[in-house]
Amino acid sequence: MKTGSSAAPGRATPTPPDALARKAAALDAADELARHRDLFALDDDVVYLDGNSLGALPRHVPARMQDVITREWGRLRIRSWEESGWWTAPERVGDRIAPLIGADPGTVVVGDSTSVNVFKALVGAVRLAGDDRDEILVDASTFPTDGYVAESAARMTGRRVRALAPADIPAALGPRTAAVLVNHVDYRTGRLNDLPGTTAAVHAAGALAVWDLCHSAGALPVGLGAHGVDFAVGCTYKYLNGGPGSPAYLYVRADHQDRFDTPLPGWNSHEDPFGMRAAYAPGKGAARGRVGTPDILSLLALESALDVWDGVSIEAVRSKSLALTDFFLECVTAYVPAGRVTSVTPEPAAERGSQVSLRCENAGDVMRALIAAGVVGDHRRPDVLRFGFTPLYVGFADAHRAAVRLAALLS
- Which residues are marked as active site? 143, 212, 237-238, 386
**Cβ atoms of 355 and 388 closer than 8 Å:** yes
Of 225, 199, 287, 210, residue with least CA distance to 100? 225
Closest CA to 51 of 200, 214, 241: 241
Half-sphere exposure of 291 (CA within 13 A, CB side): 17
DSSP 306: G
342: DSSP letter: E
With beta carbons less than 8 A apart as the criterion, state whether 345 and 324 touch.
Answer: no
Give the pairing type, strands 231-234 and 208-212: parallel
DSSP state of 352: B
User: β-strands 135-139, 231-234: how paired?
Assistant: unpaired
Cα–Cα distance for residue pair 398/375, rounded to 1 Å: 9
Q: Which residues contact 393 (CB under 8 A, 6 or more apart)?
A: 36, 37, 39, 40, 42, 48, 51, 56
Residues 405 and 411: their CA atoms lie apart, in Å, by 10
